[in-house]
Amino acid sequence: MSSPPSPQARSPPTRSARAIAEKFPWAGYRTLADIGCAEGALPAQILLAHPHLSATGFDLPAARTGFEQYTARLGLADRVTFTAGDFFHDDLPAADVLVFGHVLHNWPPEDRLRLLRRAHRALPEGGAVLIYETLIDDERRDNAIGLLLSLVMQLEVPGGSDYTGAECHRWLTAAGFTDPRTEHLDGPESMVVAVK
């Protein structure tokens, strides 16, 4: 399941993807799965930067053609696979790192926690989950874009909203993850990372 199109205020997908490729410690992992991958911009940028990695894109069946065409144009067809599924009902792909980009904000907190528990079950010991969104700052004072986008989400998606890094840390801990940390990516976007 992919998130709705991103409002213009967000960073272009490749800028955040490149920041994730640079800032996450990919050297310690071999595989990743992008949950709600759409055309595959995130795994593509990571694979271009890290030749030792392979990736799976996981999304509804309608995303397959766009994903395969986009990653093939970048010369990555031999390092990516696409798995069709619904992340609330189907098993998540096996990988060392599971990525949720602009996914959790589409759902109410109880569904976010349910997805993170599914991610915890799917990951091997030592695996990591990486979530990136337009996070609201913990004090709810500085990231005006995050606050405005949260209002938009609440109007457009029942139960949806943006959230703070601290809230995400609590969900990750409740799902069984340890050592959650938040790191700025680009523009108003940040990532939250935790390990199993």
Catalytic positions: 105
Cα separation, 14 vs 93, in Å, equals 23
For residues 18-33, b (16+ Cβ closer than 10 Å) or e, as one string?
bbbbeebebeebebbb
Cα separation, 27 vs 83, in Å, equals 24
CB 82 within 8 A of CB 68: yes
